[in-house]
C-alpha cells in the first residue's frame, strides 16, 4: 500500500501546479479566443470562430516572417554553434569546462540589457558604425538597426548556447576509436567527419534546432529593440494586442494559431526522434 | 595540451606520415575565440559605459571616465525596488520549483505510476512552449478569474515554467543512482523516510542544487512571461525595458556590471574547484 502511493505523493505538488497554471490556462485561452466583446463592456462566450479567420487574415505576414526569421536564426546558430561545439569537444583538452563557462558567462547579464547594449553599439553613428563611416569604409547612410539582418543576428546571438550545449553533449561522448577506425580504413578527414561523426551528432543538432527555433520564432524582444516597423514579428503582435490594445479574444486567437503551428511541428519532430531522447540531450 | 592527449591525437603523432607541420593555423581555435568575442561584445559595451561621465540619463556617447556611478549605484529608488523584486521572485522560485521539481524528477526516475507518459508529455510541452504563449495563457487565466496580477502571479508563473527544468535535471541524476544502495539501507533496518533522508537525498543533492540554481537563473533573466503577468509590479528586466524611451541611466550598467562580476567570480571558483578535484 505504502509503496504504491509514494510516487503519487511525490508528483502531486508538481501535477497540481502544472495542471492549474499550464494545462488549464492553455484550455482557457482556447475559450477566450472564441469570445466577442471589448474591454469596457466585457467579453462573452459566443463561440466566434471567425476570430481565427480574422487573425490569420490580418497577421499572416507577421506569422510567416516570424517563422522565416526563426529559421534563419536557427540556421545561423547551427553554422556558428556546430564548429564551436566540435572544437571544444575534440580539441578543448582539459580546458573544456572553462570554454563552456566562457560561453555561458555573458548570459549572467540580463537578456534585455545585452540586447539594449547591442542597440547602442550598432546605432547609426554609434561605436561600431561611426568610425567605419568616418574613414569612408561605409557609406554615410548605412545602417544596421531596423533591418531583418539585425533582428536575425540578435536572435541567433541570444540563443546560441541552446545550440552549442546539446551538440557538445553528444560530440563529447563520441568514441575516438570509432573515428580512428574510419581513418585506418583510409577515410579522409572529411569522410570520417561526414560519415562517422556527423551522423552520431545529429540527435544533438535536432535537440538544438528545437530549443532555438521555437523561442526565436516567438520572440519579440529582439524585434522590438533591434528591428523597425518592417520587422514586426508575431510575438510583437501578441504582446501589443494583450498589453496595449486589450483585444483579448483576437490576441488569444493569434497565440493559438502560433502555438498550434509550433506544437504541430514540435510533436511531429519529437515523434520522429523520441521525446525522451530530445529532452535528455537538452538536460 | 601536452598532458592530456586524446587517443586519436596520439595515434596521429606516432605516425610520421600523418604528422603535420607545427605552425599550422588552428582555425577551430580562432573561430571559437571569435565567437566568444562576439558573445562578450555587448557585455563589454555595458561595462565600459558604466564608467561614462555623463549628465542626466542619456548614456549614449562617450564623455569621459568616472567612477561616480558606482558611488551612486542606488540613486533610483524604483530601480532598487525592481532589483529587490527580481531577487525575491528568484529565491522563492528556486525554493518552490526546486522542491516540487525535485520530487517530480525523483518519481519519474525511480517509480512506475499511472500518468507517467502524460507527465512527460506535459513537461515536454511546458519546456517547448514559447514564452509568449505561456505568458498569454496565464494572463488569460488571471483575467477570466479576476485575479489581480502582481508579485504573487509572477512567482506562480516562474515556478510553472521552471518546474520541468528542475525535474529533468534531477531525473537524469536519479537514473544514474544504484537502487541497490537504498535496498541495502532497507535491509539494514532503515524505514522509507530514514532511507530517503540518509541515503537518497545526499546522493541527489548536487542535482537538486543544480536544478534550483537553474530555476533561479531562468527566473532572474525572464522578461517575456513576466511582462504578461507582472501587472503593476516591476522586475529588473522590466524596469530596463520601460526606461528605454526615457534613457537608461548608468546605474543600470553599474548593476549589470556588478551582477556580471558575481558571475565571473562564481565561474572562477567553479574552475578552481574542478581543477583541484582532478
DSSP codes joined into one string, B62-131 = ---B--HHHHTTT--HHHHHHHHHHHHHHHHHHHHHHHHHHHHHHHHHH---TTHHHHHHHHHHHHHS-H
Rg from Cα positions in chain A:
23
Find the residue in B nearest to A85 (Cα): B32
Per the CB < 8 Å rule, is B240 touching A113?
yes
Which has the higher per-residue pLDDT, A272 or A149? A149
Q: What is the pLDDT of residue A5?
A: 85
Q: pLDDT tens digits, residue range B238-247?
A: 999 998 888 8
Q: What is the pLDDT of residue B23?
A: 66
Q: What is the pLDDT of residue A157?
A: 96
Q: pLDDT tens digits, residue range B28-57?
A: 999 999 999 999 999 999 999 999 988 877
pLDDT band for position B2 (50/70/90)?
very low
Q: What is the pLDDT of residue A279?
A: 52
pLDDT band for position A85 (50/70/90)?
very high
Find the residue in B nearest to A188 (Cα): B18
Per the CB < 8 Å rule, is B278 touching A98?
no
Judged by average pLDDT, the poorest of A51-55, A278-282, B87-91, B274-278 is A278-282
Which has the higher per-residue pLDDT, B113 or B91? B91
Q: What is the pLDDT of residue A134?
A: 82
Residue B130 is nearest to which of A93, A215, A280, comparing CB atoms? A215
Closest Cα in chain A, distance from residue B179 (Å): 15
Neighbours of A159 (CB within 10 A): 26
The percent of residues above 90 in pLDDT, for chain A, comes to 46
pLDDT of A172 above 60: yes
The length of chain A, given as a count of residues: 283
Half-sphere exposure of B232 (CA within 13 A, CB side): 1
Q: What is the pLDDT of residue B19?
A: 53
Domain positions in chain A are: 59-282
pLDDT band for position A16 (50/70/90)?
very high
> Looking at domain A59-282, which of 1.10.287.470, 3.40.190.290, 1.10.3470.10, 1.10.3720.10 is its CATH number?
1.10.3720.10
**Grid cell digits, residue A34:** 472564441
pLDDT of A97 above 50: yes
Task: State the best of B42, B116, B186 to mutate against chain A, taking most chain A CBs within 10 Å.
Answer: B42
Find the residue in B nearest to A209 (Cα): B128
Per the CB < 8 Å rule, is A248 touching B140?
yes
Cβ atoms of B193 and A48 closer than 8 Å: no
Q: What is the pLDDT of residue B4?
A: 47
Nearest to B151 by CA among B237, B57, B239, B234: B234
The percent of residues above 70 in pLDDT, for chain B, comes to 91
Q: What is the pLDDT of residue B5?
A: 47
pLDDT band for position B22 (50/70/90)?
low
Q: What is the mean pLDDT of residues A50-58?
A: 91
Per the CB < 8 Å rule, is A84 touching B112?
no
Q: What is the pLDDT of residue A265?
A: 81
Find the residue in A nearest to B157 (Cα): A21
How far is it between the farthest Cα atoms of chain A?
80
pLDDT of B12 above 70: no
pLDDT of B189 above 50: yes
Q: What is the pLDDT of residue A282?
A: 47
Interior angle at CA A113, CA A59 and CA B60, nearest 5: 105
Which residues in chain B have their CB less than 8 angstroms from residue A105's CB?
40, 260, 263-264, 267
> In the A/B pair of chains, how many CB contacts fall below 8 A?
264
Per the CB < 8 Å rule, is A179 touching B122?
no
Which residues in chain B have their CB less than 8 angstroms from residue A188's CB?
none
Per the CB < 8 Å rule, is B39 touching A157?
yes
ipTM greater than cut 0.90:
no
Closest Cα in chain B, distance from residue A112 (Å): 6
- Give SS3 for A45: strand
Task: State the best of B128, B134, B242 to mutate against chain A, taking most chain A CBs within 10 Å.
Answer: B128
Q: What is the pLDDT of residue A1?
A: 40
Q: pLDDT tens digits, residue range A124-145?
A: 877 888 888 888 888 878 888 9
pLDDT of A19 above 70: yes
Site of grid cell 541515503: B199
Judged by average pLDDT, the poorest of A99-108, A131-140, A268-277 is A268-277
DSSP line for A96-164:
HHHHHHHHHGGGGS-HHHHHHHHHHHTSTTSTTHHHHHHTTSS-TT---TTSHHHHHHHHHHHHHHHHH
Q: What is the pLDDT of residue A277?
A: 54
Instruction: Identify any residues that bridge with A140 across adjacent strands, giving them in sequence order.
Output: none
Q: What is the pLDDT of chain B when averaged over all its residues?
A: 87
Closest Cα in chain A, distance from residue B73 (Å): 16
Per the CB < 8 Å rule, is B137 touching A26?
yes
Which residues in chain A have their CB less than 8 angstroms from residue B175's CB?
none
Residue A32 is nearest to which of B31, B112, B144, comparing CB atoms? B144
Which residue segments constitute the domains of chain B, with CATH numbers given? 84-233 (1.10.3720.10)
DSSP state, residue A43:
E
Q: How far apart are the first and last CA of chain B?
A: 15
Half-sphere exposure of A73 (CA within 13 A, CB side): 33
Per the CB < 8 Å rule, is A108 touching B113?
no
Q: What is the pLDDT of chain A when averaged over all its residues?
A: 87
Q: What is the mean pLDDT of residues A95-111?
A: 89
Which residues in chain A have their CB less than 8 angstroms from residue B8's CB?
176, 179-180, 183
pLDDT of B227 above 90: yes
Q: What is the pLDDT of residue A275?
A: 52
Q: What is the pLDDT of residue A3?
A: 57
Q: How far apart are CA A128 and CA A77, in angstroms?
A: 23
Amino acid at each position: 500500500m505504502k509503496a504504491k502511493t509514494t510516487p503519487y505523493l511525490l508528483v502531486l505538488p508538481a501535477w497540481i501546479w502544472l495542471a492549474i497554471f499550464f494545462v488549464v490556462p492553455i484550455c482557457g485561452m482556447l475559450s477566450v479566443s472564441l469570445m466577442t466583446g471589448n474591454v469596457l463592456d466585457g467579453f462573452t462566450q459566443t463561440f466566434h470562430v471567425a476570430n481565427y479567420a480574422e487573425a490569420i487574415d490580418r497577421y499572416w505576414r507577421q506569422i510567416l516572417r516570424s517563422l522565416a526569421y526563426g529559421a534563419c536564426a536557427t540556421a545561423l546558430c547551427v553554422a556558428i554553434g556546430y564548429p564551436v561545439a566540435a572544437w571544444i569537444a575534440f580539441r578543448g583538452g582539459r580546458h573544456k569546462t572553462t570554454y563552456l563557462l566562457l560561453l555561458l558567462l555573458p548570459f549572467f547579464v540580463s537578456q534585455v540589457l545585452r540586447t539594449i547594449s547591442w542597440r547602442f553599439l550598432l546605432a547609426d553613428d554609434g561605436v561600431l558604425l561611426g568610425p567605419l563611416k568616418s574613414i569612408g569604409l561605409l557609406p554615410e547612410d548605412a545602417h544596421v538597426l531596423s533591418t531583418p539582418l539585425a533582428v536575425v543576428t540578435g536572435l541567433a546571438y541570444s540563443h546560441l548556447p541552446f545550440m552549442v550545449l546539446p551538440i557538445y553533449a553528444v560530440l563529447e561522448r563520441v568514441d575516438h576509436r570509432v573515428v580512428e577506425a574510419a581513418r585506418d580504413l583510409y577515410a579522409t578527414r572529411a569522410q570520417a567527419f561526414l560519415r562517422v561523426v556527423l551522423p552520431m551528432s545529429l540527435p544533438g543538432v535536432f535537440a538544438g534546432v528545437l530549443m532555438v527555433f521555437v523561442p526565436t520564432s516567438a520572440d519579440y524582444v529582439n524585434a522590438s529593440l533591434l528591428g523597425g516597423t518592417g520587422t514586426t514579428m508575431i510575438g510583437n503582435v501578441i504582446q501589443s494586442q494583450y498589453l496595449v490594445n486589450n483585444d483579448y479574444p483576437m490576441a488569444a486567437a493569434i497565440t493559438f494559431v502560433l502555438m498550434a503551428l509550433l506544437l504541430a511541428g514540435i510533436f511531429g519532430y519529437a515523434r520522429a526522434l523520441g521525446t525522451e531522447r530530445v529532452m535528455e540531450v537538452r538536460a | 595540451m601536452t598532458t592530456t592527449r586524446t587517443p586519436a591525437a596520439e595515434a596521429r603523432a606516432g605516425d610520421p606520415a600523418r604528422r603535420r607541420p607545427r605552425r599550422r593555423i588552428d582555425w577551430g581555435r580562432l573561430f571559437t575565440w571569435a565567437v566568444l568575442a562576439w558573445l562578450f561584445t555587448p557585455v563589454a559595451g555595458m561595462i565600459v559605459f558604466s564608467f561614462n561621465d555623463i549628465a542626466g540619463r542619456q548614456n549614449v556617447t562617450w564623455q569621459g571616465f568616472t567612477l561616480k556611478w558606482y558611488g551612486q549605484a542606488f540613486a533610483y529608488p524604483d530601480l532598487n525596488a525592481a532589483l529587490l523584486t527580481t531577487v525575491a521572485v528568484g529565491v522563492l522560485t528556486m525554493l518552490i520549483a526546486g522542491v516540487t521539481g525535485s520530487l517530480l524528477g525523483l518519481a519519474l526516475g525511480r517509480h512506475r505510476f499511472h500518468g507517467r507518459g502524460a507527465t512527460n508529455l506535459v513537461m515536454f510541452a511546458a519546456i517547448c512552449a514559447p514564452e509568449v504563449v505561456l505568458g498569454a495563457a496565464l494572463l488569460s487565466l488571471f483575467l477570466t478569474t479576476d485575479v489581480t496580477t502582481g508579485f504573487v502571479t509572477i512567482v506562480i508563473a516562474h515556478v510553472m515554467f521552471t518546474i520541468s527544468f528542475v525535474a529533468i535535471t534531477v531525473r537524469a541524476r536519479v537514473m544514474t543512482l544504484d537502487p541497490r544502495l537504498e535496498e541495502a539501507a532497507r535491509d539494514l533496518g532503515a524505514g522509507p523516510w530514514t532511507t530517503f533522508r540518509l541515503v537518497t537525498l545526499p546522493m541527489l543533492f548536487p542535482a537538486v542544487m543544480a536544478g534550483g540554481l537553474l530555476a533561479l537563473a531562468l527566473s532572474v533573466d525572464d522578461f517575456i512571461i513576466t511582462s504578461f503577468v507582472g501587472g503593476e509590479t516591476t522586475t529588473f528586466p522590466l524596469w530596463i525595458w520601460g526606461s528605454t524611451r526615457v534613457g537608461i541611466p548608468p546605474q543600470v550598467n553599474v548593476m549589470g556590471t556588478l551582477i556580471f562580476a558575481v558571475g565571473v567570480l562564481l565561474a572562477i571558483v567553479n574552475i578552481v574547484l574542478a581543477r583541484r578535484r582532478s
